Amino acid sequence: MKTLEQYLDDAAVAHGHLCAGQVLGVRMAMLGLQKLGITDPQGKDRKRVVTFVEIDRCATDAVMVVTGCRLGKRALKFRDWGKMAATFVDVETGKAVRLAARESSKALAKNMHPEVADKNQAQMLAYRIMSDEQLFDAQWVRVELPPEEFPGFKGERVVCEQCGEGISYRREVQRGGKVLCRACAGERYYEPIS
Ligand SMILES: [Zn+2]
Ligand SMILES: [Zn+2]
């Protein structure tokens, strides 16, 4: 593992700027890996970690930097729940820990640095030195990771009976006796303009 400062340097480069979210994300990922006993996430342990993130904000980029988990490697799973939380899974041991930023950490940051008017600046300073317990709630959890969730899964590819597009990783659904993609099954996030 690198130090907090080293990870913050890496995160600032990857993310484009240093912000409170980077500090929070780096701290969260470092704590998650530490709890799992994973010491070399970019080296010998690089295939050991799968991370679920629950928000698409600054901190998510920092979590990627520390864990090395990426969407394109299938090691980063996004659950869009709008929560500053992440679950770190050790696929070797099956252990998993979910960390959620505590609501009280924002107010605490303000109290620690009342002289700093800018909220982001105050949080950046405070999040570096707060204890893990002040920053995060931690819980051990169990995460089901079926084979199709893993990088390198070679599964059958099916075709949606309605739109004809191919679907990988068993993401098809059965509706009224038909095999459909999730869009055709009603989960569409877009509307075609004809
Ligand atoms: Zn940011
Ligand atoms: Zn379809």
Residue 170 pLDDT > 80, yes or no?
yes
Q: Measured between alpha carbons, how far is 145 from 75 in angstroms, rounded to an integer?
A: 11
Name the pTM for this structure: 0.93
Model confidence at 188, pLDDT cuts 50, 70, 90, reads very high
CB burial of 42-51 (b: ≥16 within 10 Å; e: otherwise) equals: eeebeebbbb
Ligand nearest to C-alpha 25: 1
User: What is the CA(194)–ligand 2 centre distance, in A?
Assistant: 17
Q: Measured between alpha carbons, how far is 162 from 180 in angstroms, rounded to an integer?
A: 6
Ligand nearest to C-alpha 186: 2
Residue 150 pLDDT > 90, yes or no?
no
Averaged pLDDT of the chain: 95
User: What is the CA(164)–ligand 1 centre distance, in A?
Assistant: 39
Ligand nearest to C-alpha 20: 1
Ligand nearest to C-alpha 163: 2
Specify the pLDDT at position 154.
84
User: What is the CA(59)–ligand 1 centre distance, in A?
Assistant: 7
With pLDDT > 90 as the criterion, what percentage of the chain qualifies? 92
CB burial of 124-153 (b: ≥16 within 10 Å; e: otherwise) equals: bbbbeebeeeebbebeeeebeeeeebeeee
User: What is the CA(168)–ligand 1 centre distance, in A?
Assistant: 33
User: What is the CA(154)–ligand 2 centre distance, in A?
Assistant: 21
pLDDT in tens, 42-67: 899 989 999 999 999 999 999 999 99
